[in-house]
Amino acid sequence: MSRRPLIAGNWKMYKTGPEAVETATTLARLCSNVQDVEVMIAPSFLSLPLVAESIKGTNINLGAQNLYFEKQGAFTGEVSADMIKAAGAKYVIIGHSERRQYFGETDTSVCKKIKAAIEVGLKPILCIGESDTQRDDEKTFSVLDKQVSNGLKGYGSDELAQLVLAYEPVWAIGTGKTASIDQVRQVHLYLRSLLEKLFSKDLADQTRILYGGSVKPENAKDLMGIEDVDGALVGGASLDADKFINIIKYNN
């Protein structure tokens, strides 16, 4: 089964609205002839409608970095799946390690957020990954197993048809340290077999599994060349369109 790679940029808490529009516009121009990979950018909530407008008719997709799982209500400061969808997004990143680390995100809240995304037709990008101590203690696979099975608890293959998984070892995020080719290969293979065990062979075959953690133009080709790696979730190197395009065009 061939899976179209997804190269996704997570802009985190960077860029004001005008700055986001400027980068998105440049990127859209640079991406005009990109066909073999799907491109997505996730600016801040505030920039979503502005960026949506600036990339209209281009081959760039829009994503949000988080959502709140309730449909609506008195939840000051939160943003719902419907609001994100209405702003023009197609994807939503869920359970990023920074959310787990700094904002108390748990597998239980992640699971509810996945549901909220699916209900409105947003494609969830579920982030998972072990910390350095968990890796040192040889707990990588058990940590990932728990994050996937609890984060996706109660769903069937059909509901998860649009799911994207992102393996992001916490120790590789924003550190300049990339997981080795062997580490990535092992984990991605493990995750695909886990999807088969928990759901179905079809779901395992069709789900894109991205790698994230210090992806840059210099290592993109090697990482994307690994079997079972179906794209990348890129933080720092996605902020600059001229840099990000070299990751998107890793094959050229």
List residues near ligand PGA by CB under 6 A. Answer: 10, 168, 173-174, 212-215, 233-237
Which residues, including other chains, have CB under 8 Å from residue 75's CB and lie 6 or more apart? Answer: 68
CA triple 50-52-56, angle to 5 deg: 125
Q: What is the Cα–Cα distance from 50 to 135, expressed in whole angstroms?
A: 40
Residue number with CB closer to ligand PGA (21 or 231):
231
Write the Ramachandran bin of 70: left for phi over 0, alpha for psi from -120 to 50, otherwise beta: beta
Q: How far is the CB of 118 from ligand PGA (least distance, A)?
A: 21
Residues forming beta bridges with residue 210, ordered by sequence position: 166
CB of 1 closer than 8 Å to CB of 227: no
Residue number with CB closer to ligand PGA (144 or 215):
215
Structure-token pair, residue 97 = 């390690």
Question: What is the enclosing helix (H) or strand (E) of 54?
Answer: helix 48-54
- Catalytically annotated residues: 96, 168
Residues forming beta bridges with residue 94, ordered by sequence position: 126
Residue number with CB closer to ligand PGA (121 or 174):
174
Structure-token pair, residue 94 = 């869920």
Q: What is the Cα–Cα distance from 116 to 151, expressed in whole angstroms?
A: 13
CB of 99 closer than 8 Å to CB of 78: no
Q: What is the Cα–Cα distance from 112 to 31, expressed in whole angstroms?
A: 34
Of all residues in the shown chain, the one whose CB is closest to ligand PGA is 235
Q: Are strands 60-64 and 208-212 parallel, antiparallel or unpaired?
A: unpaired
Residue number with CB closer to ligand PGA (5 or 213):
213
Residue number with CB closer to ligand PGA (134 or 203):
134
